[in-house]
Chains A and B, each alone.
Chain A
């Protein structure tokens, strides 16, 4: 019998191909022995994958436990990543060598930076993502991560032991019990169960237990956590119906084209996998009074809306939009689900009406008159744990070495989950190695804002990141996430690869050098005016003007400046990112 660790990856990799239930775990049929890992991550969503990969990057022998390997990396709601605030989080996850940004650069079908006209601090990197590609690429990444093993199984209970006296906490977690009664021992455990804790799906008046449409919820685990004394709350969220692409009349709708060139999410990518001209467009349509009418007439058939459980204010269902802002036309974005997908995701149409009424509502909308609904929208209600019960390293106060990340902490969104996942994975690993926790402060990153808000204020609705939450918004920009976090990640956590570290080091020194060169170039303003007639430089000034000052003009960028003074500035335009960052830093 070869060691469990050695075979784990192979087992998981084979699973994705064969999907043979009896061969789920090679250790099951063997003699009674108990696997032992440094870090066990429960859940294979956006928090779980990041946590597992981060722990493994830090050098911990890591096990990822999931209900089904083939749902690892599933995007269970919108087919997009990023946006304003969320794009900031992705950049920070990437700066710590996390996965989602790199996977998005390989899986997007429509890349667009939001807020381009509003100053670099609030640019929002965003992309429509091909669900299938994302899942495939994520699974490939996870199954090929050294030190990371994947196993299928439902966790039903935690194994607890006496607490370590030098830390706070009533218990210490030392492993998990699976649904089949087997156990896995672990030095740290990360829980990333998403909406699966006592998850209930709601369509119209029907409710049935499920974490996601078609997936079983975790009930035993929820009971365990409650019995331990964790304060549990309830939240809800929703997802819109999916529509057949060929049944939509796009020709009469507003078309939105992607950016050219596409800006990649990851610092280590110069480009994305797909050319702008090959990318897919999005379309915009609007609701109308008929939609309002259907919603208002059928409120009695809609128990999700009536319940008092808190849903997100910023991701409202069409029902709550109609109720709170009546007599308005609400936007509906028709987004592609993927390159070869027949589905369209109508963003803005999250709804929990009975399925037949959903279809009736959809066909009232311009462009969707003949639309065929493939899957109804539904609401999800789930348990979350008051995040004031965890520390800034995401470890629980109550149970030592138990970490929570993602929706279990009351957040919403892939990016928020990924950000917590990376931090939980790093800290689960550091904890095993008796190293101080890796905590990002509010002054260092949106991740710090997110975790500080959660752990000190808690949340009463699904928490989403906005740039308005960040006090230091002007310095916590998407462009400089690497200089804020990559060096710390490399030195303190060990979660950053050598390649990324070197790239960040090169960027940092190039920027410093570039700025000092820009400072050293001085001409009279009249000469600058001749060199760059586009710039509104006033020539009356007696003092000479530095290149650095000229770059401050709104209409001057590094390219323009380098054309005027090719030597020594030309070399700073070779790298698009460097040229852009010089301009931003100067600003």
Chain B
């Protein structure tokens, strides 16, 4: 529904899209100039938010007609402009029978739509809920008694005029209101994600905020919700924007040195200052990238893999944690042959839990394949839940498992990843009650009985700690990079900063900074040359 993961942030002036957009919009431009009185100003403004920026021409003469110069921004110029001037409507709450359904409109004809359905009443006061009788504007037939809200732009979600109809949630009511809205001139059904796209195009949401909104809508666990809400509040954007500002300033100083260093007396040390800013930025980016996958894990779930020798109780553990019978459990070794996945909410964190075949050698080809798959899954795991039978620790399969899986993982990650491991000794109910720890020589471990649920609380607490480390704690940590593209662009930025330090030719050094800034602005938006010039003229007295 939302334009998630679609890298339409590309705000670089050079990319062909904005340019072709700008030229494609020309005929509309012309209409504003030629027929400036047709339509309301806000309608004109909506025609193309992409090429407008906040600026007013200072005409000393009374303008011939209303100036079609609305506020606009070039940010997000990579996004296709919403189709011009149309007002859209859609059911914004879920489908199906429900108590209340919410229908929204956005666009210049929203006020007209609201009036048409609530005739003969006037528009309600802005942002105040009012009870109104809705009726079909064509037949006058009453549709429902509903709460309506009126959000005049730009103080609305999309930045346009918006209206909301909170109607009773029966399918007939909803379809009746939608049909009535469709009959109002200038209204059409919204396309998927169109409200958000309009909010983005009007600068109401930054790209990372749009991503946060998508995540919030899809959030299934507590930690995901916290993280998404923070991103929607613009925390990631704020962080990246801070970096981008530092970088823009460093670049502006280099650019000033290039464009004005020879002719004007710039202060000493302009380049040194840029160098030190770049160094600081490198440190900050490096620190943030160190475990950059945390945010992605939080967003799409950490991979937890349950492994162990046959018949240790892996499937029982999976069923216990997921609170449903995911895997078939039997006393027969080798019951689970394939990898079974189930998404679970563990202590508020999203986890993709995989049950695997017991690791052993010398069995039939089908089970052998299961073992191979288990091992493969083991390599990709963020968190390994190693399960052993507490009553069977001395068996060869248990020892072998300890030697090949548990000890190496405990000794530090074999392939440089930050895999974590929890050793669970299952079937504690088979141990003599109150007896000594059966395995004082083992690495740190937890005792559990899947049968009685004994030790489950301890396990959950341990899992919570591990997952918080893997996914980051969204209530205390700095904002996370929730998507691969965030990480990609931060890494690209960091690489370009490295090139800056190596370049001898100042123009090449500046180019490296431009590339670095380009990467950051793919996350934050913005990034035009004008920002650089603003800094140059603010910081230096240049020109003659």
Contacts and interface: CB of A to CB of B under 8 A. Distances in A.
Nearest to B503: A119
A394 interface: no
A333 B69 contact: no
Interface string A212-240: 00000000000000110111111000000
A537 B147 CA distance: 81
B529 A473 contact: no
Contact of A467 (B22, B51, B258, B542): B258
B26 A457 contact: no
Given A78-B544, A118-B506, A350-B544, A391 B59 contact: no
Interface residues of B, number: 56
A114 interface: yes
B23 interface: yes
Interface stretch (B82-90, B176-184, B259-267): B259-267
A315 B260 CA distance: 12
Interface stretch (A68-76, A186-194, A306-314, A571-579): A306-314
Interface stretch (B28-36, B210-218, B411-419, B442-450): B28-36
A330 B260 CA distance: 14
Interface stretch (B11-19, B220-228, B285-293, B358-366): B11-19
B74 interface: yes
Nearest to B257: A118
A315 B543 contact: yes
Contact of A231 (B69, B252, B259): B69
Contacts of A467: 255, 258-259
A408 interface: no
Interface in A317-371: 321, 324-325, 328-331, 333, 347-348, 350
B51 A115 contact: no
A331 B264 contact: yes
Nearest to B60: A234
A226 B61 CA distance: 9
Contacts of A316: 541, 543
A460 interface: yes
B33 A85 contact: no
B305 interface: no
A201 to B, nearest CB: 15
Contact of A389 (B33, B536, B537, B541): B33
Contacts of B22: 452, 455-456
Contacts of B506: 118-119, 122
Contacts of B476: none
Contact of B507 (A121, A324, A347): A121
B34 A229 contact: yes
Nearest to B12: A471
A510 interface: no
Given A121-B507, A468-B529, A168 B55 contact: no
A554 interface: yes
A468 B255 contact: yes
Given A118-B507, A391-B26, A397-B29, A472 B14 contact: yes
Nearest to A328: B541
B532 interface: yes
Interface in B25-76: 26-27, 29-30, 33-34, 36, 51, 53, 55, 57-61, 63-65, 67-69, 74
B59 A388 contact: no
B51 A232 contact: no
Given A397-B26, A467-B259, A468-B255, A348 B544 contact: yes
B63 to A, nearest CB: 7
Contacts of B27: 168
Contacts of A328: 541
A168 B32 CA distance: 13
Interface string A47-85: 000000000000000000000000000000010000111
Interface in A530-587: 554, 587
B63 A231 contact: yes
A250 interface: no
A441 B23 CA distance: 12
A348 B536 CA distance: 18
Given A234-B59, A321-B541, A456-B51, A115 B14 contact: no
A242 to B, nearest CB: 15
Contacts of A455: 22
30 contacts: A84-B258, A84-B259, A84-B263, A115-B261, A118-B258, A118-B505, A119-B505, A121-B505, A122-B506, A168-B26, A229-B33, A229-B64, A231-B68, A232-B57, A234-B58, A234-B60, A325-B541, A329-B265, A331-B544, A389-B33, A391-B26, A397-B26, A398-B33, A457-B53, A458-B57, A466-B255, A468-B255, A468-B533, A469-B533, A471-B13
Given A310-B58, A452-B22, 13 more contacts: A115-B262, A227-B64, A232-B57, A313-B543, A386-B57, A388-B29, A397-B33, A398-B33, A398-B34, A456-B51, A458-B55, A460-B58, A471-B14
| Top 7 A-B pairs, shortest CB-CB distance | A233-B57, A119-B505, A314-B543, A119-B507, A468-B255, A325-B541, A397-B30
